[in-house]
Structure 1
């Protein structure tokens, strides 16, 4: 999927407190691959550390936390986290 299409798809999600996405960058999986807690208590990583993904960091409005965006040709991920990726939470994971 083209970068412009992914930008459009992120903007169509309508996530509250997330500014409009205007740019995505190519990022290595090991850079964006945060660990997330599942309701079961298990911690998982979603991306392949050796692949490239489109991604961005967008400051959450009226908050010290950020949204992290990541996408490949199969999935869109929006997560929220604190400084340095701390306390990462999945906001949305959508299959394309």
Structure 2
């Protein structure tokens, strides 16, 4: 199955049976929201391209050392929704498992850690974590200024 945006998400997804497919669910795989499908619905492929470019610029403008990206991928929330420890001893997840986000990962030079970036129409999250998402730390979590 192809998605609304033309990416073959189903070929890469181990959970495609519970998803329902992008086209069949009208851009609501897993019953959630897909940022790419939302862009396509609002303004077609040009809107999708602009949203990606704007978000790349927004991430690169954060001024975080060693964080620079050239592209974004579509990432399932259940894959990137890490649990972050808070100062009060509690932990929190900031994403929705059922949504599909724009995101990417960048290795931090000279470190065993990576930056992970995830965003939807409203929020941008940048975190740092070690191998397999262990020891995650929130670097930046903010409401987006240039919403889609």
Please list, as runs of the form range in 1=range in 2, the aligned pairs for 1:1-96 lying within 5 A after superposition. Answer: 2-18=51-67, 20-96=68-144
| Partner-residue secondary structure (3-state), 1:79 | strand
Distance 1:62 1:95 in 2: 30
For residue 34 of structure 2, what is the aligned residue in structure 1? Answer: none
Question: 1:94, CA displacement in angstroms?
Answer: 1.3
RMSD: 1.0
Higher-helix-fraction structure = 2
User: Which consecutive residues of structure 2, in runs of 5 or more, have no partner in the other structure?
Assistant: 1-38, 40-50
| Partner-residue secondary structure (3-state), 1:5 | helix
Structure with more contact order per residue of length (Cα contacts < 8 Å, sep ≥ 6): 1
| Partner-residue secondary structure (3-state), 1:57 | strand
Q: Which entry has the higher C-alpha Rg, 1 or 2? A: 2
User: Which consecutive residues of structure 1, in runs of 5 or more, have no partner in the other structure?
Assistant: none
TM-score in terms of structure 1 length: 0.95
- Stretches (4+) displaced over 4 A: none
TM-score in terms of structure 2 length: 0.62
